């Protein structure tokens, strides 16, 4: 359900009753330890913050964010007051929470103080994930299975209008998506997009022009729900999960050099 890295470790999120966060060595991929997130129900995304040396995890049933100190494993949580989904950390070290149902992006401090919330335009339906660029603008992916429009958009700083977009009608051709589900952005603000039901990862320019497919369906066994870019090591981590009857039954992380 999530993958991120911090320092010399990779953090993997699994839907389990305990030891939900597995911590691996970034070089050997050896399991180092596990962290249990207490008082949780359904964990659906995670991200990390190098500045505060912690991991944030979304709980969409309790509608809260869990903050995990990666050194001591201590966990705290705060309420989002809307159903949260995607997570990212901006250059101010604050947490951006994408709230899909109400089509909002909420910005919180590291300890859960609400700093700002922005409502997305009416035509940005079912946003899954948002990342703030160094310009202050936001890149957002949106579109659920039954929606007509499946896109990646660069939004203005106040999220009132779309500056650039890529995608449109749901499909499998180049320039189309079938649930663009998760994002990563590199130092030059090129955008990696998980295209969930097309089972691929697409690379876009900072103005959202198509560059190439960086992960094709033949490199995956199942469905790519999440991704994380280790900018320093130029490694792209893609979760590859099997789902049967609405339940996750198997999974792995596939690592690509980019």
Contact present, 146 and 162 (Cβ < 8 Å): no
Average the pLDDT over 23-38 and give the result: 96
Q: Hey, what CATH topology would domain 120-258 get?
A: Neuraminidase (2.120.10)
Band the pLDDT of 247: cuts 50, 70, 90.
Answer: confident
The string of pLDDT tens digits covering residues 62-73 is: 999 999 999 877
Secondary structure (DSSP) of 113-173: -EEEEEEPPTT--SEEEEEE-TTS-EEEEE--TT-SEEEEEEEPTTSSSEEEEEEEES-SS
Q: Is 133 exposed, middle or buried (0-12, 13-18, 19+ CB in 10 A)?
A: middle
What region does 121 belong to: left with phi over 0, alpha with psi -120 to 50, or beta?
beta
| Model confidence band, residue 74 (pLDDT cutoffs 50, 70, 90) | confident
Instruction: Name the residue among 235, 239, 212 with its Cα closest to residue 224.
Output: 239
Tens of pLDDT, residues 110-120: 999 999 999 99
Query: What is the C-alpha separation between 238 and 166, in angstroms, rounded?
Result: 21
Does 220 score more than 90 pLDDT?
A: yes
What mean pLDDT is predicted for residues 29-50?
95
Q: What is the pTM of this model?
A: 0.96
User: Could you write out the three-class secondary structure of 7-33?
Assistant: CCEEEEECCCCCCCEEEEECCCCCEEE
pLDDT tens profile 135-190: 999 999 999 999 999 999 999 999 999 999 999 999 999 999 999 999 999 999 99
DSSP symbol at 197: T
Q: How far apart are CA 101 and CA 74, in angstroms?
A: 30
């Amino acid at each position: 359900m999530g993958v991120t890295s911090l320092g010399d470790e990779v953090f993997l999120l699994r839907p389990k009753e305990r030891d939900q966060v597995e911590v691996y060595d970034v070089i050997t991929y050896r399991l180092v330890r596990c962290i249990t997130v207490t008082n949780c129900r359904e964990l659906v995304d995670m991200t990390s913050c190098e500045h505060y040396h912690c991991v944030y995890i979304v709980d969409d049933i309790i509608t809260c964010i869990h903050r995990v100190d990666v050194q001591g494993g201590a966990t705290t949580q705060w309420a989002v007051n809307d159903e949260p989904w995607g997570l990212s950390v901006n250059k101010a070290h604050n947490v951006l929470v994408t709230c899909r149902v109400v089509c909002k992006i909420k910005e919180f401090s590291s300890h859960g103080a609400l700093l700002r919330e922005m409502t997305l335009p009416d035509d940005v339906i079912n946003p899954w994930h948002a990342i703030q660029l160094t310009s202050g603008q936001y890149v957002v992916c949106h579109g659920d299975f039954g929606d007509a429009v499946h896109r990646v958009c660069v939004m203005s700083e106040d999220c009132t209008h779309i500056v650039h977009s890529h995608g449109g009608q749901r499909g499998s051709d180049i320039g189309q998506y079938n649930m663009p589900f998760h994002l990563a952005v590199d130092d030059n603000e090129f955008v990696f997009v998980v295209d969930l039901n097309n089972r691929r990862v697409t690379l876009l320019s900072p103005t959202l022009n198509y560059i190439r497919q960086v992960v094709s369906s033949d490199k995956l066994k199942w469905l790519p729900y999440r991704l994380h870019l280790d900018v320093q090591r130029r490694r792209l981590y893609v979760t590859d999960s099997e789902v049967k009857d609405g339940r996750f039954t198997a999974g792995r992380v596939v690592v690509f050099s980019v």
